Every structure is written in structure tokens, then in C-alpha cells.
Chains A and B, each alone.
Chain A
């Protein structure tokens, strides 16, 4: 069963628009970790943020902000005033111990492809 769902496959916005990428997760654990990674066209995976299940504070880093809501099992990512350089595939990931064989490996969603046009 998919543990991380990113329902938006592709999003296209015009530069300077705000955009929110949705992430819904499922886990039986009370202790878990959520991540966002960015994969630009060059292919590498760039770490953006990690959040543990006990810290529901929203976080802002420049134009990026994250909204973690345990009540809805969501960890959404907002880019404010988007720029062309934000064009990439964004992955949400969950790390828990629900499957003891996998340890704390990352369970990735399918990714959301964001295209920002001038």
C-alpha cells in the first residue's frame, strides 16, 4: 500500500505565483519523520526539510514553507512567488518503523512535477 500520496502529478504556474504541493501520508507509528526532496532536471536529489512527528510547528525558509498537520496526516509544501529555477520534481517521503524489514528507509511519494514559466 502506498504510504505517501502526492495526488498532484503535474502543476504548471506562471512566475511569481504561489503554489502548494500536497502530501498525505499513512503510518501506524507514533514516531516518524517526514521529508521533502527536490529533483531538478539535472537529476540529483536535494534535501529540503525534515520534520519529526512530535513537532507540528510550521516552518518557513525564505520563499519555502511547510504545513504539517497530524490531524489530516498531511505535510504540504508551499513556494511563494515562484521562480523559473523552482521547476523540478518534488518528492515527499516518510520514514517510520512500520515495516521492520525496511528500518528507517525513506518511502517516497510518486512526486509532483512543477513547471514555472516566465
Chain B
């Protein structure tokens, strides 16, 4: 158990809908990363938040957005869903400190999204 929690574990929805995925980082971690794992694209970085602020952006679609709240939990919002958005969405957290990149990212169990 990494200490990172993600809800829900599974989500089934229809095309055109909007969903919200939730992530709670490990206690004390300030960084939250979101990744998408699909058969086509593999594991791809979407976006990172650090202490409530957007820190880095990857291959995140405009239909997707995220935020990190004062209690440091994060939500990933996916809208106008398409079949191709079906994937496993991971959240990871890493602790603060000197040389942030030095710390490994601890991954949550993932949310499996199925768009029908």
C-alpha cells in the first residue's frame, strides 16, 4: 500500500459525459501527478500540481482539467468523453524537499475508466 488513495476504483460511463476522479496523496506529500495508461499510448504524464498550483503539463487534452485543493487532494475532470478516453488513470504523489525530482513518485491503485 503506497499511501495514495484514488476513488472510484472503476467508472463506467457513456460518450459525451463528464466524470471526476479523485486522488488523496500520502500524508506530507505536496506534489500530485496524474498519468493515463491506455493500450494505444502507454503510460503518459498528464499534469502535476504542487501545493495547490499547477507545476507542469504533459499530454493533457483541453477536455481534461485538474485542480489541487487546500487539503492537497486533487481531482481530475474529464468532459465530453470519447471512447478513446477509456484507460487506467493513475495519480502519484511525491514528498517535498531539496531536489524534488530526487524523490520517487508513489502511485495510487488507479481508476479504471470505461467509456461506452
Contact = CB atoms under 8 A, between A and B. Distances in A.
Counting contact residues on chain A (CB < 8 A from B), the size range is: 20 to 34
Q: How would you classify the secondary structure of chain B's contact residues: helix, strand, loop or mixed?
A: strand
Nearest to A37: B107
Nearest to B45: A105
Contacts of A46: 107
Interface in A8-55: 33, 35, 37, 43-47, 50, 52
Interface string A92-111: 00010000011111111111
A91 interface: yes
Given A101-B56, A103-B55, A108-B42, A45 B90 contact: yes
A80 B74 CA distance: 39
B85 to A, nearest CB: 18
Contacts of B100: 104
Kindly name the residue among A44, A52, A108 whose own CB sees the greatest number of chain B CB atoms within 10 A: A44
A109 B37 CA distance: 12
B45 A47 contact: no
Nearest to B34: A105
A34 to B, nearest CB: 11
B56 A35 contact: no
Given A43-B88, A91-B43, A111-B42, A105 B58 contact: yes
Kindly name the residue among A37, A52, A103, A107 whose own CB sees the greatest number of chain B CB atoms within 10 A: A103
A88 B93 CA distance: 23
A44 B45 contact: no
A108 B56 contact: no
B102 A44 contact: no
B48 A106 contact: no
Interface in B59-116: 88, 90, 92, 100-102, 104-110, 112
A53 to B, nearest CB: 11
Given A91-B43, A102-B56, A105-B33, 17 more contacts: A33-B102, A43-B110, A44-B2, A44-B109, A45-B110, A47-B105, A47-B106, A50-B102, A101-B58, A102-B57, A104-B101, A105-B48, A106-B43, A106-B45, A108-B43, A111-B42, A111-B43
